[in-house]
Chain A
Amino acid sequence: MNDALDVLGSPADAETLSRLHRNLERHAEQDGLLDVAYTVVDSPVGRLLLAATARGLVRVAYATEGHDGVLETIAQRLSPRILRAPKRLDTTARELDEYFAGRRRTFDLPLDLSLSHGFRQLVQRHLPEIGYGQTRSYREVAELVGNPNAVRAVGTACATNPLPVVVPCHRVLRADGTLGGYVGGAEAKAALLHLEAA
């Protein structure tokens, strides 16, 4: 039997809800309420979470990091005003596409490094100085940032890079030429180096 209550409680269709979501994204951006916008894109190294504040790209996360957990952390550390709002990430997504297609060697994006601090942030600021297709050892990066004894701290800074791929921590290897660790896993690190060597 079709009861009045069933009709009143009938679920909204997905199309209506996604249209309302897009309106919400637009209003939130217009009213300055969208502290963090994010989207998820496909890439040769798996699904990548891209998140940006009004200042710039604040986080790139591999699927292996757990996107839900990454967003929870952003909510605690930056702001819970977070929406899936792909528009703010359009340029980032396009530049990543070009990079993975071998048509882009540097990223031209405003970055927001507010998820890292101190020495780690200093290292991350210097990483883009390692050019496309080149590699450095952890020790060489320690020297690059003017602290040659901080080899382990450089390793930590690379491992906690909030912007992998865009800030090229994958270009930092062990002194013996082996890969070393990587936030996206050894396979992703090898794939990026292989791409850049082509």
Chain B
Amino acid sequence: MKTPFENVVAEHAGTVLRVCRVLLGPHDAEDAWSETFVSALRAFPDLPDTANVQAWLVTIAHRKAIDVLRARSRQPLPVERLPETPSDLGVPDVDHDLWQAVRDLPDKQRQAVAYHHVAGLPYAEIAKLIGGSADAARRAAADGIKNLRKTYLSGATS
């Protein structure tokens, strides 16, 4: 039984945006979100009824983010320094360092943090997305969080 796609948007829009923010930073997250949901809408009638919709959306976002990162690496200049637009994203200025720290993480750590700690996917699912074993995905997420806390807490009062 297929639900109206609007219900999928209502339920998962926020999570997918948070995942895109971690993968790409606040600046590019909205474009990736839009591309993810347009692709999802296109493919939705063929999605098996038993599918885990959130995991499916995260998989699409994963691919869209890779496209954005590839485009970025071909054109490194314009995104070297993000424009100061965090306020309309609900991210306070003081967290700018955190986003920079997320950006500086190795790809697999950043992805594992996004997919496990933000989207709540199990490590076995994450391994399918980023390659390697579930254990490797678990280690990547743990290392990612450790690295972020090191940077973030050193700059904040605890």
Interface residues, chain A, with chain B CB atoms under 8 Å away:
1-5, 7-13, 15-17, 20-21, 23-24, 27-28, 31, 33, 36, 38, 71-72, 74-76, 79-84
Is B9 engaged at the interface, CB distance under 8 Å to the other chain?
A: yes
Residues of B near A1 (CB, < 8 A) are: 158
> Could you tell me if B33 and A10 are in contact, using CB atoms closer than 8 angstroms?
no
B42, A31: Cβ atoms under 8 Å?
A: yes
Q: A24-B38, A28-B41, A80-B3 are in contact. List 13 more A-B contacts (CB 8 A).
A: A4-B153, A9-B118, A12-B18, A20-B13, A20-B30, A21-B13, A24-B9, A24-B37, A27-B38, A33-B38, A72-B4, A79-B45, A83-B9
Known: A4-B145, A11-B14. A21 touches B90 (CB 8 A): no
What is the CA–CA distance of A5 and B22 in the complex, to the nearest angstrom?
11
User: Does the CB pair A31–B38 fall under 8 Å?
Assistant: yes
Interface residue B1 (Cβ < 8 Å from any Cβ of A):
yes
A-B contact pairs, 16 of them (CB 8 A): A4-B101, A4-B153, A7-B95, A10-B18, A13-B89, A15-B88, A16-B17, A27-B34, A31-B38, A33-B38, A71-B6, A72-B1, A72-B4, A76-B2, A83-B6, A83-B41
Contact B17 A17 (CB under 8 A): yes
Closest to A9 in B: B118
B117 at the interface (CB under 8 A from A): yes
Q: Which of A4, A11, A15, A83 contacts B98 (CB 8 A)?
A: A4
Closest to A85 in B: B6
Q: Are A4 and B37 interface neighbours, CB within 8 A?
A: no
